Amino acid sequence: MSHTNTPNDPKTLRPMTLPLLALALTQLPAIQQPPRLRTILPNGATVLVEKVPGARTVWTRLFLSSRGAPDTPANHGQRHLLEHLVAVGQDGRIDERLEREGALLSAQTQRDAIEIDVDAPSDRLDLALNALGEMLRLRPLTQDEINREAGIILQEGALQEVPTRLSSAAWKVAYGDAGLDAYGDVAAIRNATPAAVAALHRRLCAGPNLVIVVAGDVDLDKATAAASAIVRTAPKVDAKFSSRPEGKGGVKDDAVGFGEARAVPVSAYSETKTMATLAAAYAIASDIEGAFVTYTPSGRPGLVLLGRAGENSGLGAQIDKADAAALYPRGRSIVDRWLRGQMGDPGASASLRGLLLAQSVDYSPDRMREAINAMRYPDFAAAVAAFKGPKAVAVTGW
Amino acid sequence: MLIPVLAFRLAAPVVPPLLETPISGSDKVGIAAFAPLPKQFGEKDRQKLAVAVRVLVDGSQEYGRRSVYELTNGGAIEAALLPDGVTIRFVVPKESLSNGLSLMEGLLRRPVVDPVTLGRALERIQRREPGYWAAALRPLRNDLRAVKPDDARALLVRIFQPDRTVIAAAGGFDTGQAQKLWAARTADWKTTPAPRYPDITPTPEPTDNPSGVTTVELRGKAIPLADSELSKTWLAMIALGVGKGGSLFRDVRQVEGWSYRQEAILWPDPAGLVPRLVAATAPAEDQAGKAEALRAALLKAVSNWSEGDRQRALTIARITLFDGLPLGPLWLSNGPPGAREEDRALLDAYWYAKSTKRWDPNRLMGTMVDVSLDDLKAAAVSLLTTSRPIVLPGR
């Protein structure tokens, strides 16, 4: 096990253990721990523990990165299926066991990773980590179980909200098969076999694909050791994210989504241009009743989407008359507030940090902060213009 | 002499009650109001009120949208028409308690009701703002294309009467502080006469679900909030369908596989809280028998309940009542209330308006722990066997 520090994040620096300094510190009443500790295990798995003094809950997150397991038309949605199958635990009754102890489990599949969360009372880190450990062991599956779960995923599709539907359509326009949604294709899901699901589970549970984040009133070293014990035996393999080409603009006017959206392809989350696009989307949305913005931070090319539900949303016309100069202060303020809100909520912060670490051990929300701070008016104005120009994706649903 | 005295009484100012819940260490104050619907309230008025209520999110005559944004530190006013009344809630920094109460007083007495705000309100309804699940739970249609400002204003005045509206504040302030500020702002608030011939158009029973999903439901009878049996039903509802360890998820979704989302809900109703066991499913042929299938599956599940199920239900009750996890079964506004200050304020206002008693999670929990496994099973069986089966096909 090796402790490492993120070079651009001074908060993660651990105290030096020079003998003289250690001697001097013994005169102090207590050694204060840093707020956060990131550890990379020999097999490539990452553990991040964050101290939240006084918290009554401990938030734990397990990420299974999709590195080396890209969604393709042939397997589209099988990661989602796997999430459903593992999230019930070894005996299918993990929720019942956790809830009896006051802990809750939830899971979701995103393009870059599967995320499994267990929130537990502050003194039950062991319970939460044991539950996450169950996710790394796949029980023997039958084809009947897979078929039944595929049916439930079909039911899930019926309840998809407008932003999700419009986002899927926009990603398809911008990135084609390199931007397949995490939900999946029911036919491809139904084609899954127990052997294929087991193979996918092995790929996703390789050491470098595993990230555990713990946030709570915990001892950093003890929590790191406990979380590491769960992932340290995973095999080390070499795998890379599949490349995603630069996104392109386009139009789709028959999406299933009951509304309208404009989206702008962006590069990595840490780019000033990306944060300027997000700020522009939020600023324009703040002038349009009921508009929504979707963006998932990613190191790969992505999409910032501005949408609105409704039969006659009028979104496009409102975007086209957006005045960048008037919107700039608001855009800065809202995107800044958004990031502060994410980081101020321990559960949301753990999720964001974990999602970024699942993509690269060097990724952190601090890079978003830096990109926001670096944003100037020309960046913002260009971003507003991008929503109006030919590089934007326009999607209309019925 | 009787008539002049009566007239004087009607016109006299009435200070609506403000309930206080100081929360030590909180740096915010949640402010909420609940106004029950009048006993006689028809479908035509309900549709107009659904629009009128949506103008409240635009602020009051003194606090416009920008001022609200600043006052709430980037938050928003949440306003909803429930089956039994209208709710308003928002949160402000604790230093803004006085302005927050002014905003609430303005919303109740001087909302901005004009063609612009009403136009926006109609748009919000058309866009199905609550989302598929919330819309599926309340499959009402609203066919209005326009509402006249005078009609909307009159409806809001009729609902927000000082003798019927309950206001609550929860968060970082001292006892008595909010009440004093509120009394000063509302000292001149007078009741107005009810309409002589109110709309009494009955609300039609829904025949389908315009949200697009089919809902399969078992619906029980309303339980008054002051009913001693409520806590037993509450616990049974948790065991049946709150959390993924409940029977709806464990024994229906994971065994039957025909629904992705299913919940046990205590639904607001003029007569109390209505137990509803709801499963959403994709529209398909031959779904009429699903409600009976749901009943049979749940009855079978209840017969197998063990002490573990009771313990799980008690734990869920504890973390929802005391830690504010928004899991249910109580559903107010657009979902279960959570741990936010404004949620606590809404619970206070709602509970008092419906029962004339303060919201008291300790008392509720205290009676739940005395429910034995046999009592829990009996309550669930009674609920299931007396519930009405309802299947609304998605359109």
CATH number, domain at B59?
Answer: 3.30.830.10
Residues B46 and B165 in one domain: yes
Is residue A277's pLDDT more than 90? yes
Q: In the predicted model, what is the mean pLDDT of residues B347-371?
A: 95
The pLDDT of residue B133: 82
Report cis status (omega within 30 of 0) of the bond before B389. no
Question: Per CB distance under 8 Å, which residues of B are interface residues toward A?
Answer: 74, 120, 123-124, 126-129, 131-133, 212-213, 243-245, 249-250, 253-254, 257-261, 280-283, 308-309, 311-312, 315-316, 318-319, 323, 325, 327, 394
Residues B172 and B265 in one domain: no
The pLDDT of residue B254: 78
Please return the burial class of B313, using the count of CB atoms within 10 Å of its CB with bins 0-12, 13-18 and 19+: buried
The pLDDT of residue A27: 43
* Strand B272-281 to B214-219 pairing: antiparallel
Is CATH 3.90.1150.50 the right assignment for the domain spanning A250-397? no
Structural domain includes residue B69? yes
Beta strands across the sheet bearing B388-392: B261-269, B272-281, B214-219, B388-392
Nearest-angstrom CA–CA distance, A90 and A105: 14
* Contact (CB<8Å) A149/B244: no
Q: In the predicted model, what is the mean pLDDT of residues A154-179?
A: 91
User: What are the residues whose beta carbons fall under 8 Å from the beta carbon of A392, sequence distance 6 or more?
Assistant: A249, A262, A263, A264, A386
Residues B179 and B221 in one domain: no
Structural domain includes residue B206? no
Residues B246 and B387 in one domain: yes
Q: In the predicted model, what is the mean pLDDT of residues B81-88?
A: 96
B279, B283, B284, B289 alpha-carbon torsion, rounded to 10°: 30
Percent share of chain A, pLDDT over 90: 76
Q: Is A149 on the interface with B (CB under 8 A)?
A: yes
Structural domain includes residue B273? yes
Is residue A2's pLDDT more than 50? no
* Contact (CB<8Å) B245/A309: no
Q: Average pLDDT, whole number, for chain B?
A: 90
Instruction: Please state the domain count of chain B.
Output: 2
Q: Which residues of B fall within a CB distance of 8 Å from A95?
A: 243-245, 249-250
The pLDDT of residue A312: 63
Residues B277 and B156 in one domain: no
* Strand A57-65 to A36-40 pairing: unpaired
CATH architecture of A2-18+31-231: 2-Layer Sandwich (3.30)
The pLDDT of residue A311: 62
Question: Which of A80, A100, A164, A286 would best serve as a mutation to test chain B binding (most B beta carbons within 10 A)?
Answer: A100
Structural domain includes residue B37? yes
Nearest-angstrom CA–CA distance, A379 and A338: 19
Residue where one domain finishes, among candidates B186, B206, B238: B186
The pLDDT of residue A256: 65
Chain A, 87-146: which have a CB under 8 Å from a chain B CB? 88, 92-93, 95-102, 104-105
Is residue A185's pLDDT more than 50? yes
* Contact (CB<8Å) A161/B257: no
Residues B57 and B107 in one domain: yes
Q: In the predicted model, what is the mean pLDDT of residues A106-115?
A: 97
Residues B45 and B176 in one domain: yes
User: What are the residues whose beta carbons fall under 8 Å from the beta carbon of A43, sequence distance 6 or more?
Assistant: A207, A208, A231, A232, A233, A234, A235, A236
Condensed to tens digits (0 to 9), the pLDDT of residues A227-256 reads 999 999 999 998 888 888 899 998 887 766
* Contact (CB<8Å) B282/A88: no
Q: φ and ψ at A182, to 5 degrees?
A: -80, -20
Structural domain includes residue B368? yes
Nearest-angstrom CA–CA distance, A149 and A81: 7
Residues B222 and B258 in one domain: yes
Structural domain includes residue B157? yes
Q: Average pLDDT, whole number, for chain A?
A: 89
CATH 3.30.830.10 domain residues, chain A: 2-18+31-231, 250-397
**Helix (H) / strand (E) containing B30:** strand B28-36
Amino acid at A309: A
Nearest-angstrom CA–CA distance, A78 and A183: 9
A398 pLDDT band (50/70/90 cuts)? low
The pLDDT of residue A4: 36
Q: Scanning every residue of chain A, which has its alpha carbon at the shortest distance from the alpha carbon of B73?
A: A337
A140 pLDDT band (50/70/90 cuts)? very high
Q: In the predicted model, what is the mean pLDDT of residues A340-353?
A: 95
The one-character DSSP state at A123 is T
The pLDDT of residue B97: 97
**Helix (H) / strand (E) containing B318:** helix B307-321
Structural domain includes residue B153? yes
The pLDDT of residue A32: 59
Structural domain includes residue B347? no
The pLDDT of residue A300: 94
Show the domain range for B127.
15-186
Q: φ and ψ at A134, to 5 degrees?
A: -60, -30
Amino acid at B282: A
Q: Which residues of B fall within a CB distance of 8 Å from A105?
A: 244
Here the tokens at position B268 are 């607001």
Residues B174 and B249 in one domain: no
Residue where one domain finishes, among candidates B141, B168, B186: B186
ipTM of the complex: 0.87
* Contact (CB<8Å) A158/B243: no
Considering only the beta carbons, identify the residue of B212, B245, B325 that sits closest to A96. B245
